[in-house]
Amino acid sequence: MGKVYFVGAGSGDPELLTLKGKRLLETADVIIYDRLVHPIFLHLAKEEARFIFSGKYPKNHVLKQKNINELLKEECRKDQLIVRLKGGDPSIFGRVGEEIAVLREQGAVYEVVPGITAASAASSYSGISLTHREHSSKVTFVTAHRKQGEQLDFKGLTEKGTVCLYMGVEYAAETQQKLMEQNVSAELPVAIIEWGTMGRQRTFTTNILQMIDCIAQNQVKNPSMIVVGNVVSERKGPDWFEQKPLFGKRLLLVDTKKICFETILEYTEQGADVYVVQVGEERDRRFDEVDRQYLKDYTFDEVVYLSKQVTEINKKHLQYL
């Protein structure tokens, strides 16, 4: 029997990964990772490690949950260290309970390594404190994907409190309706944070009444965090993260050699949104599929060639990803 570690990768900024999470990624035999996990973390893996993409897209699951459960059971039957890498914190809307139940059934050994959840990470990187002596003495984490008929006391939760809606953009109109039906003030401040803690982060402040228009006008997509409460009024424009010198820049780093994780952090620490690709015959071919999967969804402002060894032939490799 192997052992499974459910590791929270945090909310996107690579430096929000815990030290324990980093150690486990460096020693894992198998890494099963989700779509919202930045593939940058795979560059911490040892050369022998296998990567399995379980990335679930809304209404278009690459692996459905039952298939992921079976995959965990199958991999756990082997004598190996398995990291199940999830975005944010595995135990906060990460369906970790269902996967743990499967492992318990077959007597498998597991551990859960918490991560920094999107609510605290995205709000902090937008200059919003979820609690505030003047505005909020309680915080509620809510998923927009609630069971049919499930009701929340939004009126009570927003009185001297903050509500954090995970992946809430798709159901924003429904949420707005519920808030208004419960006589929550239409002027109550709202922050909508897209891709929190990453260089592509966008933060919009509005109120409940104008929330839907704001989302539509700015074409906001998931993953996004919606923060509802008077704490949002404390945001006074772009804050510390959004003022970093490379914030908003999307950079693709390219080299013929393995790109050191510390090199990646030199750019992300300045606020850049970074991805890396190794090219050439000596490249780590495990990343060919990882790169194709990632690059089909994103564009970049600039390609940074880290060495003179990146030839025209190497550059053509990028066109096939």
Residue 261, exposed/middle/buried by CB under 10 A (0-12, 13-18, 19+)?
middle
CA distance 261 to 38: 13
At 287 the three-state DSSP class reads helix
Whether 4 contacts 84, CB under 8 Å: yes
Note if 211 is an active site residue.
Answer: no
Q: How many CA atoms lie within 13 A of 200 on its CB side?
A: 19
Note if 315 is an active site residue.
Answer: no
CA distance 204 to 173: 17
Pick the catalytic residue from 13, 34, 255, 273: 34
Pick the catalytic residue from 56, 211, 255, 291: 56
CA distance 108 to 99: 11
At 311 the three-state DSSP class reads coil
CA distance 176 to 173: 5
What is the phi/psi pair of residue 247, to 5°? -60, 135
Note if 167 is an active site residue.
Answer: yes
Across 208-286, where does the E strand assignment appear? 224-228, 250-255, 273-278
Whether 146 contacts 52, CB under 8 Å: no
Whether 58 contacts 31, CB under 8 Å: no
At 105 the three-state DSSP class reads helix
Strand partners, 163: 140, 228
Place of tokens 């318990």: 104
Pick the catalytic residue from 86, 89, 167, 249: 167
**DSSP track, 177-223:** HHHHHTT--TT-EEEEEESTTSTT-EEEEEETTTHHHHHHHTT--SS
Active site members: 34, 56, 167
